[in-house]
Chains A and B, each alone.
Chain A
Amino acid sequence: MDPQTTDADEANAISYHGKTGELFRIYLVNIALTILTLGIYRFWARTRIRDYLWSQTSFRGDRFEYTGVGKELFLGFLVVFVVIVAVSLAYQALYTVVALQWPDFEILLQLLALAATLVLIGVALYRARRYRLSRTRWRGIRGAQTGSALGFGLRRFGYILLTLLTLGFYWPFMNVRLLAFSLDNTWFGDRRFRFDGRGRDLLKPFAVVWLLFVPTLGLSWFFYRAAVLRYCANHTRYENLRFAAEVALRPLAMLLFTNMLLRLLTLGLAYPVVLVRSARFLCEHLRIVGDQDFAEIGQSLAAVPGRGEGLAAVLDVGEI
């Protein structure tokens, strides 16, 4: 390694400072309140978890900050819930009439509903990410996400179809293209991230996984995951900064496998442990290379959504 860049690399370190015990206490209180309030507290619960994770992660010595509040998630959920209920009632009515009058079109209608749901899941994921980024600050400067959520949902749907048609071989292209769509639309302050990965570069590791999937009892999947992580990090830039992930197969496989076991064996109670382990792993293995004068970066000018993640909450597809 070039000795001159070491200082800047040190300065660019991403660190996770959180303790499992603290997060676990938050989580237990969350569960208790969620049960006591018949589930309504879950939006505030989610907010507290994020608050903790964000504020325990630092870059260049400054902690991140999550500025979302539970009320925004709750309102977002309520609005979308009412709309979705209305739409699905209308669909049920239409379905009943069609099933009665034109039974031949029943399957067509079902397929349409399935397609719409798949597109909506993409829309939900993208919109949820927009909300999260708009509520993420570092040194008071906001993140943001531009781009059309419907565009993302339609693309994702198209890629899923192509993946099915190509017996899975479109999968790496889908991964890379969706990531490119979201990263090129991701901003910190008034500058955007850049991603220049290409799907065909991941085709080789994917083919290896595909061929070895059965003989290795599916363990070859971890090899692909590690390759994707490395590749995608290495092709992401922000201004003068480059990302780099040094993820070897063994530690990633161990992390994912033990996380899965932890969640299964404790019926999900080990969720905070899983979160902390993942956060720590990511911070340890993600490096940021280069020197950037952050005084050049201005505040984000993107519109800030007032409510958040309603669709993701209704469709139950949220992350963290």
Chain B
Amino acid sequence: MPPTYEGHYSDGRSAGRRPVIVRVAEQGLIIASPDGEPVGVWQYADLKLAGEVFANQPVRLTNAADPDARLSVAEHGFQRPLYAFAPHLRRRRGSRGWSWRWAAASGLGIVAVLALIFVLLPRLAGPIAALVPADWEKALGAQVVKGWLAQGEVCTGTAGSRVLARLIDRLVAGVETPFVITVRVIDAGEANAFAAPGGNIVVLRGLIDFAESGDEVAGVLAHEIGHVVERHAMEAVVRAAGLSLIFQALVGDVSGLLSLAAGAGEYLLSLSYSRGAEAEADAVALDILHRADIRTDGLAALFARLTDARGGTPDALAFLSTHPPSRERAAAAEVGGERGHGAMSATDWQALRTICE
């Protein structure tokens, strides 16, 4: 005699329910009203649990052949004979349980995401940046420069500005770029320089103070022009946008803790990308200096001293091209550095040094 259990049955056509007796028989769950009137037979293969069975919770079943109907049995002893006939119910709930397919899919998903971040995005950022119309880049650059100008006065010393303009004309001659290269010196103490989108170059006064000759300043300017020619700033913007897109998609709304960690990851990644771009800008810089007939050992000397001064740590300006000084870069600029002439006369160099006064 198959075991019987008391339960409740709803037919799925109305929200009423009726008490039933459930028999766990060979051919299926035989459901009948207490006075013996048959209600239905549910095949084991069609059964699913409507939710996990926690303590004190009735065992609730659905039937694929009649998907709106529900059967509920309060006694947990029901599970043993039921699972003997329907072992698939042992797993929590059909497709929800861990299966090799799920594991493989999530593994693949993770690999895909990592490939997207570390392989595809760095390779695509350049070509996408190249597609951005020059006008848009100029508008974007204007926004960035506006932000910088808030940090310090633009230096406009007459003699110094004249020297700077002459030097830039010399460097830019023969450079192919859709942008008008604009160089501003800002009165800030840090020894650094940046290339914003749209041909906007900013040199901080601290760099001119740190430099020991006009050749060194020329080297830095050539390097920044290199960034402009290669559209690195736009590439960085595309990359940052892509990264934040990916991180938003991944993290979305998990919790404050997680999004904090994600923010840090995003930042570190954008730093690690910039190394390749620096080498490219160096290569262009050497070209520019050769063409302008300016010796390249100034750039090399400046890099070497920056490395010593900062202990080789990259600075924190992650968004735009950052300048992690390195000995290899100094070495690259050193080769054949003494060919060419000085960038400017000693008087001109003195004038440039006082551009912020």
Contact = CB atoms under 8 A, between A and B. Distances in A.
A140 B12 contact: yes
B70 A139 contact: yes
Contacts of B68: 140-142, 299
Nearest to A41: B106
A20 interface: no
Given A17-B57, A140-B10, A100 B70 contact: no
Contact of B252 (A42, A188, A297): A42
Q: Which interface residue of A39, A55, A99 has the most chain B CB atoms within 10 A?
A: A39
A39 B250 contact: yes
A139 B15 CA distance: 6
Nearest to A44: B96
A1 interface: no
Interface stretch (A169-177, A192-200, A288-296): A288-296
Contacts of B10: 62, 139-141
Given A63-B60, A139-B15, A96 B140 contact: yes
Interface in B43-58: 50-52, 54-58
B320 to A, nearest CB: 18
Contacts of A140: 10-12, 15, 62, 68-70
Contacts of B56: 17
Contacts of A65: 50-51, 60, 70
A63 B58 contact: yes
A263 to B, nearest CB: 10
Contacts of A67: 50
Contacts of A70: 96
A37 B34 CA distance: 50
Interface residues of A, number: 56
Given A141-B14, A298-B14, A299-B13, A100 B50 contact: no
A96 B17 contact: no
Contacts, number: 137
Contacts of B256: 267-268
A295 B57 contact: no
Given A39-B252, A63-B60, A100 B139 contact: yes
The 9 closest A-B pairs by CB, nearest first: A295-B16, A139-B10, A294-B15, A55-B51, A39-B250, A297-B15, A140-B70, A100-B139, A140-B12
Interface of B: 8, 10-17, 50-52, 54-58, 60, 62, 68-70, 72, 95-96, 106, 109-110, 113, 135-136, 138-140, 143, 245, 249-258
Interface of A: 17-19, 22, 31, 34-35, 37-42, 44, 51-52, 54-56, 62-63, 65-67, 69-70, 77, 81, 85, 93, 96-97, 99-100, 137-142, 188-189, 267-268, 271, 293-299, 313-314, 316, 318
Given A40-B106, A40-B109, 9 more contacts: A39-B250, A55-B57, A63-B72, A93-B136, A97-B135, A139-B16, A140-B11, A295-B15, A298-B14
16 contacts: A17-B56, A35-B258, A37-B110, A38-B110, A39-B250, A40-B250, A55-B51, A55-B60, A62-B10, A63-B60, A65-B50, A65-B70, A267-B257, A293-B16, A298-B14, A313-B252
